[in-house]
Amino acid sequence: MKLLRHGLPGQEKPGALDSTGKARDLSLLIPDFTPEWLAPEKLNALAAIDLERMPLVPAGTRLGAPVAGIRQFVAIGLNYRKHAQEAGMEIPKEPVVFNKALTSIAGPNDDVTLPPGSEAGDWEIELAFVIGTVARQVTVGEALSHVAGYCLANDVSERDWQIKRGGQWGKGKSFDGFGPLGPWLVTTDEVPDPQAIPLELRVNGEVRQRSNTADMIFSIAQVVSHLSQFMTLLPGDVVITGTPEGVGLGMKPTPVFLRRGDVMTLDAGPLGTQTQRVI
C-alpha cells in the first residue's frame, strides 16, 4: 500500500492511493497513521480495505508527512561511496549517525524556509525507512522484518551551521521544514529490494543528483541492525539513510547553494516525487 496523510499542518487525516493512483480518505475508519498502525497486523487490516469505496481526497489537497507521532528522526551520513569521495572523506568503517529535530519534519511539497542570513543552504535526496515493530539488538538477517515501509526524504542542510558551528551536524539540519517526507509511505510488500531505488534531484530543472540506492555503503538491513545495537528503534521512528553525490557543497570548482526562489524537485521512482520552493 501507499499510505499518505492529507490536510493542513497539524490537521492531517489518513489516506491511501487506490489502484488507479487516486488518493482516498480513510479518516472514517482510523484516526491517523500513528505508530501502532504500522504493526504488521494493522497493515494487513489496511490492505483489506476496498479503497474504491472510500471518499476521494480533493485534488490539490496538501500532503503531510506520511506518518504521525514520530518519536525519533535519525539520519545516516556519508553512506554513498561517490558522495564520500566528493566530500573528500574516507569511506566510513561503520555508519555515521546523527539526529534531526522532530520539528524539522514537513510535508513533501511544503515550502523550505532558509534561516535568517543563510548563505549555504543545500539539498540531499535520501531514502527513508519507517520502523514498524520494536528493533533491539537485531541481526542483519532479521532487520528488514522490523521495517514497515519506505518513503522519499530531503535532508535539507545549512552547511555553515553544520560545519562552522562546532561541527555538530544536527545544527545545520534541524531548522523547521528541513525534513520533508513523503508523498507517501510505501509498505515493504511493494518494495522487494530497497537497494534498487532510483534517486534524482533537480534544482530549477537542472539535474544535481542522479543515483541509485545500490551505491549505498551500508544497506538498509545493515543500518537497522547497527542502530539497534545501541538504541531501541520504536514503531514510527524514521531513519533517513544518506545522500548520493551531487550536493551543492561538493560542486567544483565553487560550491553552489540554495537561494530564495529556487525550486527543488525530487523523484524516487516507486516512492513518488516531491517539489519544494525555497523562500
d(CA 49, CA 24): 11
Mean pLDDT of the chain: 96
CA separation, residue 226 to residues 165, 173, 211, 231 (Å)? 28, 22, 24, 9
Q: Cα torsion for 238, 244, 248, 249, to the nearest 10°?
A: 90
User: What is the reported pLDDT for 124?
Assistant: 98
User: What is the reported pLDDT for 85?
Assistant: 82
Place 64 in a pLDDT band, splitting at 50, 70 and 90: very high
Overall pTM > 0.85:
yes
User: What is the reported pLDDT for 82?
Assistant: 86
Q: Which of the four CATH numbers 3.50.50.60, 3.90.850.10, 3.40.605.10, 3.30.1330.10 does domain 68-277 have?
A: 3.90.850.10
- Report H helices in 112-253: 140-143, 159-163, 169-173, 220-230
Extents of the domains making up the chain: 68-277
d(CA 83, CA 76): 13
Nearest Cα neighbor of 122 from 250, 261, 254 is 250
pLDDT digits 0-9 by tens, 251-275: 999 999 999 999 999 999 999 999 9
d(CA 143, CA 78): 21
